[in-house]
Chain A
């Protein structure tokens, strides 16, 4: 796909499980296990799935903040999966990330103006006076009075800290921002302010987002396409409208049906999944969802389904299709 900003091929990330005095490796946590997908220029790809399914690991590996175990990552057509740290530097400013907890990601001893200008300084961009001016503009843009730039992170509310995190990410004019549960910890009234800010900034700065969240309602609102992960695998990817009208993967269907809807008259068939998500250290054979799947067939416990293209841009990994 030529309009892909990011293209991931067979990406794998295993974490070793170490035991004993000699810390020998006794097994592997298969956090991300051979996933492939593209992120198109200018879009928002929503990545959803339950705790531990590998969303953050996917994000960190794309940024090379975690080293991929195998597989390839292309950024604007260039393979960045095996280039060294120094070569990676030139891509750093194009790829930014914003985390869930703005508090822990902002250094408490730094004034926010230095937090925001850190990237500019690291890349030797702008002289110090222009930098301050730029910080002021960025703060203003994310809705924080520029004269607060000499304050410290603890002087701000959760929503404001998230705005500061956004200003920091914007400082280097990135091409893509990965939002890893960036609005999950915020209260309803603040969350919608920040979601709207993300949307405005996207068109203003021509940004591409990988938007990670466990809340499907938020994903539905903000995304152009939706990708669902389960236990280290992508099980379904589709443009948003198609995904919500015609959800195909049994796990994705159950996930959609489990979302509480703020409407007491809303009636639907809820699919209650039995049991818990299995451990990624020891995922079930065949289809990883098979022990909990209502549609399970003979083949499902034997053969792992591939992510198949069904309709235009609708991919599913399930033997039913």
Chain B
């Protein structure tokens, strides 16, 4: 893929983050590998509990007890973050890698003005004076489309609407020109017209800043819109990893395939929604073999016994499944009608 020539910003290798709970070990992230290139957006998708947020927290080393990264490497500009001290991490967080959370209220402090909070990282990382920082903050607020920024800069988070708060969060994340942004469901709690505003804004700013983004979401529509490449997670592992068009038009993993046929959509007429039977497995009692096998229509005896590994099936298309050929045939039928249905 063309990415091979671009600079790798982040490389996550065999990341394992477990929670050591009273009931047992929750293998929240269990051997995850991916990379992020300069200027691209990598989408991390999957259903609730599959390990998306824990992956993000692991990268920034923000895990709380009883969570612990037990194995792996997180190479950021070729340096392993897992080997860094807390003090070194503090220099990276907010400056080189910034994060945007789902609920801005949890990451904005209610007792400080938004201007103060955004200026904070400028003062810490760039040693700016109050006046310089304030000027820069107003500039940033303007960039993220907050009207009358000279006034808004002195307001408290509760004085802003949900959409405006998320804009302020984005301004805060971009304040120090981070190389990498991690956005964990940044639009999930917003209304769709506001979500559309924020997505457009993120796309524009990413180009402007030439930053890379890891976009975490469970919304396949959002991911189709913003991601260059996508990693689909299931039960703590990546099950499919490739460019966005391949995920949507020629998925090779039964789970991805199942997700795509279970979502109602605006772009085509659907007679019937498919659904994936059963539920996501309890992380304390993962099934033997392929973790998806109890829900998988393609499962065979082998799937119940042996866990498949992630393999590059086609150029840059990486899949964790024993039955890729059968899935490909099925997906072709569906993908074909899908494409036909796209009338512009």
A→B interface (CB under 8 Å)? 50-51, 157, 159-160, 187-193, 195-196, 214-218, 220-222, 244, 254-268, 270, 272-273, 275-277
Contact = CB atoms under 8 A, between A and B. Distances in A.
23 contacts: A50-B191, A50-B193, A187-B47, A188-B47, A196-B275, A216-B192, A218-B264, A258-B193, A259-B266, A260-B192, A260-B195, A261-B267, A262-B263, A264-B225, A264-B245, A265-B245, A266-B267, A267-B344, A270-B196, A272-B200, A273-B193, A276-B194, A277-B191
Nearest to A219: B264
Which has the most chain A C-beta neighbours within 10 Å: B197, B219, B260, B277?
B197
A265 B279 contact: no
A58 B130 CA distance: 50
Contact of A221 (B196, B200, B260, B264): B264
A262 B197 contact: no
A217 B266 contact: yes
A268 B262 CA distance: 23
Contacts of A244: 266
Nearest to B147: A275
B209 to A, nearest CB: 20
A260 B197 contact: no
A256 B264 contact: no
Given A189-B47, A189-B276, A191-B262, A262 B192 contact: no
A51 B194 CA distance: 11
A254 B220 contact: no
A214 B161 CA distance: 18
Nearest to B338: A263
B235 to A, nearest CB: 12
B311 to A, nearest CB: 24
Contact of B164 (A191, A257, A276): A276
Interface string B210-225: 0000000011111111
A118 B225 CA distance: 46
Interface string B302-343: 000000000000000000000000000000000000110010
A143 B275 CA distance: 14
A258 B224 CA distance: 13
A187 to B, nearest CB: 4
B196 A195 contact: no
B123 interface: no
A263 B192 contact: no
Nearest to A217: B264
A141 B307 CA distance: 34
B248 A192 contact: no
A247 B121 CA distance: 46
Nearest to B261: A192
A11 to B, nearest CB: 23
A258 B192 contact: yes
Contacts, number: 133
B176 interface: no
A105 B70 CA distance: 39
Interface string B271-306: 011111101100000000000000100000000000
Contact of A273 (B197, B264, B274, B275): B197
B129 interface: no
B244 interface: yes
Given A188-B259, A191-B262, A255-B193, A260 B224 contact: yes
Size category of the binding interface on chain B: 35 or more
Contacts of B272: 196
Nearest to A257: B196
A289 to B, nearest CB: 11
A272 B198 CA distance: 10
Contacts of B221: 217, 259-262
B263 A217 contact: yes
B262 A261 contact: no
A244 B269 CA distance: 11
B258 A262 contact: no
A157 B274 CA distance: 20
Contacts of B195: 258, 260
B191 A265 contact: no
Contact of A193 (B47, B199, B275): B275
- B219, B222, B262 — which one has the most chain A CB atoms within 10 A of its CB? B262
Q: Which 8 A-B pairs have the closest CB atoms?
A: A260-B221, A221-B264, A192-B262, A189-B276, A258-B196, A192-B275, A50-B191, A262-B220
Given A262-B265, A266-B342, A221 B270 contact: yes
B168 to A, nearest CB: 14
Nearest to B258: A189
A189 B275 CA distance: 6
Chain A CB count within 10 A is highest, among B47, B222, B266, for B266
Nearest to B280: A187
A39 to B, nearest CB: 21
A263 B342 contact: yes
A270 B200 contact: yes
A227 to B, nearest CB: 16
A217 B224 CA distance: 15
Nearest to A262: B220
Nearest to B160: A276
A261 B266 contact: yes
